[in-house]
Amino acid sequence: MSLTNFTIPEVEKLVTSPGEPGYRADQLLGWVYKRLVVSYDEMTDLPLAFRQKLSGQISLHTLRPVREAVSLDGTVKLLFCLRDGKTVEAALMLYAAGEGRTRTTVCLSTQVGCAIGCHFCATGKQGFERNLTPGEMVDQVLYFARRVKDKKEGTESRLGHITNIVFMGMGEPLANYEALIQAIQTLTSPRGYGTSARNITISTAGMVPQIRRLSGEGLKVGLAVSLHAPDNALRNRLVPLNKRHPIEELLPACREFTQKTGRRVSFEYILFAGINDSLAQAKALAGLLRGLNCHVNLIPANRTGDAAYRPPLRGVILAFERELGENGVACTVRVSRGQDINAGCGQLRSQFLFER
């Protein structure tokens, strides 16, 4: 058991059921989520006997780093080992003032492997092993929060705290729905980590029932949908989930999300040379999204060693962006980060597993 796997009410019950006063729960939560300690020994305002009892029953955290890669652009990629020996990735991305709003972003995983099976994705090729617990998600954020607080990242964009959290690492977040929601509640609770839901984004390959369910949660989180194609035939090939939830079901669910939450949807569109990067496809994409409160992130493909999925030339990318803009679709070409350390989702773990 790990304390980060408990909900806030469960922590209260944990503290008060043996007879401790209720304010001890806030003290305990403050040490874990605000002061970011890693040991009960550091909780100096809690009675020693209480700390010893807790330490004998419940650990504070669920993971440990086993491999690290640091990019020239400041991106830090971590491979974490979980209690059962399985591994997951998370990344810290630092954006300076010249790259839009200065921010410090954590990209975290929600599953060990992934069952969606997108052929271009390194994680998709690993298969699915299990869901992460809420605590295993939260602990990825807390690890990097400690690291940033300790000022180990020497870039001008360092803010001393995490500004943004994106569930875009290994796995399909909405396939691990209950654990995802609990993790978000812990991360956004004023008694937990205390970040704003507006600074959290959930990425999905397009799980329509879960998108509709998320729309009714009352959470003001962002939603990013991995689209990658303007038609079902191509999307079936790139994102196999589309065979179950085709575009004509996905887009109405996205529209419902924008209407209920007031948040616009981001559509992730990875550009693959000769596959989905033509001007005709850009025009078809614009027609598909017309009238929807959305933004398109154009992402040049990561080089994963599969020659079939390579990035287009720069001129092709800019022409695609221009075509979307001329047809009334807000779009941005995402700056690729961590290219020198193969920081794409699943790549560090794939290398680790291959070496083992």
Q: Which residues are known catalytic residues?
A: 89, 345
Phi, psi values for residue 131, rounded to 5°: -80, 150
Tokens of 325: 């803009």
CA distance linking residue 216 with residue 165, whole number of Å: 21
Q: How many CB atoms lie within 10 A of CB 59?
A: 15
CA atoms lying within 13 Å on the CB side of residue 241: 23
Tokens 């491999």 belong to 67
CA distance linking residue 191 with residue 195, whole number of Å: 10
Q: Which of 309, 317, 237 is nearest to 277 (CA)?
A: 317
CA distance linking residue 336 with residue 301, whole number of Å: 9
- Cβ 132 vs Cβ 119: under 8 Å: no
CA distance linking residue 194 with residue 181, whole number of Å: 15
Q: Chain centroid to CA 44: how far?
A: 34
CA distance linking residue 46 with residue 22, whole number of Å: 12
Q: At what angle do helices 247-261 and 208-215 cross, to 10 degrees?
A: 10
What DSSP string describes 169-203?
Answer: SSS-GGGGHHHHHHHHHHHHSTTTT---GGGEEEE
Q: Chain centroid to CA 263: how far?
A: 17
Tokens of 138: 């939260």
